[in-house]
Structure 1
């Protein structure tokens, strides 16, 4: 992917790839809003002070939305994005797949996360997913061997993406992966884990991911705009990162989870599922575990869980896409970005941890 053209690409993914439309609600939910607040002038991470406006600009932000106490406090757009623009979610889509999985269990399509993948997907027998519990796949602890380094042209994730762009079958790609360690012992981020979850949802419900999303979440929570999901040449959605939606509609997933799956009195996602999804239940999912590849941040069911005492959780996508939720301060922050410096591990404007400190500053702004 050419890094010099990200700003256009990320808001026009439908120009070159097949899509499935997720239709908007008949009665949209519209967040109340006030005039944009003045953002704090600076924030601090690891004793370094950052100018807030410069940080937002230098991380190539395209959309930034700060909601507190159910009211939009600040909303702004840059670099081609507007309030009705559909921006690619990248891996924030994984958190939507998790929500759909919880709904499918509640509705009886899937019996238990303690079942194994091959009980639903016999085509993955003999692969790295053979005899792996669904729970371990949800928690990115499948034991499957996979190189997720986007900066390495020969990595598995780039090999997968190239196949996807040229119409190859994601299902067939998943079947080629192998196991490298016992499942349920080590937290290692494998994007194809989410694709396998998507395969199970489609097989169990008999409906596509786009149909499930529209029927079970998109329309019930009053999303204002149509979305679209990228699909491969066989019609299967890119479960691990291909959802494209507006900034405010991304925020509604945060609001749904902030309210424990309840939307205006109707339970959309089971409350117990949301509690489990945003909690750390195993040692290897802890932020500082030696058995985790993602040092400094914990993991639930396709949600990231920062180290802290306020119950925060995040949906995170490559190039700095974020849905941040802080239940303690009733805060939701959504950021879309096209950060061409994302692969630079020393760039503070690409760091998730630095972003997190900006979000925390906003979350506690009125204290």
Structure 2
């Protein structure tokens, strides 16, 4: 072999090394930029500008929007109490770094306000409130015959997950966060599984591939353990079964039918797969419309959008390990359904909940929907009452009972 023959492979190899180095440096730069954006001091900006950092897919608004009737903002109650401690309402809203807050009762906006950069037409990331949208889409896909039964196992639809921790796990257990998947969802721990997932997502890696790496350490269907990747698996099933993207399916089946006022967008990975577990970004009143839809048991102006039987199963804790008081749950004090949180009490309340205190609160007894968007700098200190879900819940209950 002469020198000329050796030269071409050497040039190709050099080019490959150069391209790989460029991609590596770009990924490192992107990861660092996103890490900076997610720093507590920057979250107020980042949570309403996620499209500046990550790829997105647009969810188009309704052709004819539904506009909530409204009154002039009421005066909020001065105080509310939780476990014997009294909190000033306005201070609580401020100290939990609220960006958007809306209180709707009897289909009428009683109070709507914005802070810290959010406005009525500014989209805010949902974080895990998105899980409740995925649940609704799953029920619709079942009603349309794409998915036969939640007693089927995951690999029935996703053979690529054979051999993973999801192999042999019933879809029902995925819906109920009871897969037994070994997963650490500690956002404040840079070495946790959720942050390992994020590191891959922000550099464009496949979420599907990440799901295939997870293992199982608890028998499925016995313990309620919150694992965000469970919702991604539900998204994978919807996409595989329907042949539609989550963006298209959401737009057609829910977003347009409920009269949304604004376009939304969904964050996506490098393969174009939506971040099912928390990547939906929307405006406050449009989040409230999911609340209205579920307040009406999945019905919108006489049309059953989410099947009634699915709605009822979604917002009830059935098995023992899903109960608020169960010792077989990693979330004491609150129950779980199909990607909805079930509040302890006798008023049928339930919530969509996202990290840093994103909430859709629904109380069918008082005909109330409350939505809160936040960028809570206290969030990693779960001893801080301004970060605790159960203290927020008492604020919402106080509002729900103002006229009852």
What TM-score bracket applies, with the shorter chain setting the length?
A: over 0.9
Please tell me whether residue 280 in structure 1 is matched to residue 305 in structure 2. Answer: no
Q: Which residue of 2 aligns with 1:217?
A: 254
SS in 2 for 1:350: coil
SS in 2 for 1:348: coil
**Structure 1 residue 286 displacement after superposition:** 0.3
Q: For residues 143 and 320 of structure 1, what CA distance do their matches in structure 2 show? A: 26
1:318-363: per-residue Cα shift (whole Å, max 9, x none)? 0000000000000000000000110001110001000000000000
Q: Which residue of 1 aligns with 2:403?
A: 366
Q: Which residue of 2 aligns with 1:192?
A: 229
1:192-215: per-residue Cα shift (whole Å, max 9, x none)? 000000000000000000000000
**Structure 1 residue 263 displacement after superposition:** 0.3
Please tell me whether residue 64 in structure 1 is matched to residue 101 in structure 2. Answer: yes
Q: For residues 321 and 166 of structure 2, what CA distance do their matches in structure 1 show? A: 19
Gaps of 5+ in 1: none
Q: For residues 93 and 378 of structure 2, what CA distance do their matches in structure 1 show? A: 13
1:78-121: per-residue Cα shift (whole Å, max 9, x none)? 00000011000000000000000000000000001000000000
Picking from 48, 53, 73, the partner of 2:90 is 53
When normalised by structure 2's length, the TM-score is 0.91
Whose radius of gyration is greater, 1 or 2?
A: 2
Q: Which residue of 1 aligns with 2:5?
A: none
Higher helix proportion: 2
SS in 1 for 2:386: helix
Q: Which residue of 2 aligns with 1:293?
A: 330
Picking from 73, 93, 118, the partner of 2:155 is 118
**Structure 1 residue 142 displacement after superposition:** 0.4
Q: Which residue of 2 aligns with 1:12?
A: 49
Please tell me whether residue 35 in structure 1 is matched to residue 48 in structure 2. Answer: no
Gaps of 5+ in 2: 1-37
Picking from 331, 338, 341, the partner of 2:375 is 338
Give matches, 1:248-263, under 5 Å. Answer: 248-263=285-300
Picking from 211, 233, 239, the partner of 1:174 is 211
Q: For residues 267 and 191 of structure 1, what CA distance do their matches in structure 2 show? A: 28
Q: For residues 237 and 113 of structure 1, what CA distance do their matches in structure 2 show? A: 22
Q: What RMSD over aligned residues (CA atoms) do the two structures have, in Å?
A: 0.4
Question: Could you list the runs of 4 or more consecutive aligned residues of structure 1 that deviate by over 4 angstroms after TM superposition?
Answer: none
Please tell me whether residue 350 in structure 1 is matched to residue 387 in structure 2. Answer: yes
Q: For residues 280 and 351 of structure 1, what CA distance do their matches in structure 2 show? A: 21
Q: For residues 262 and 364 of structure 1, what CA distance do their matches in structure 2 show? A: 24
**Structure 1 residue 264 displacement after superposition:** 0.5
Picking from 95, 119, 141, the partner of 1:82 is 119
Q: For residues 268 and 345 of structure 1, what CA distance do their matches in structure 2 show? A: 37
Picking from 133, 137, 141, the partner of 2:178 is 141
Q: Which residue of 2 aligns with 1:3?
A: 40
Give matches, 1:305-344, under 5 Å. Answer: 305-344=342-381
When normalised by structure 1's length, the TM-score is 1.00
> Greater relative contact order: 1 or 2 (C-alpha under 8 angstroms, separation 6 or more)?
1
Picking from 263, 273, 283, the partner of 1:246 is 283
| Residue correspondences, number | 367
Q: For residues 308 and 168 of structure 1, what CA distance do their matches in structure 2 show? A: 42
**Structure 1 residue 162 displacement after superposition:** 1.0
Picking from 240, 262, 265, the partner of 1:228 is 265
Picking from 136, 139, 144, the partner of 1:99 is 136
Q: Which residue of 2 aligns with 1:161?
A: 198
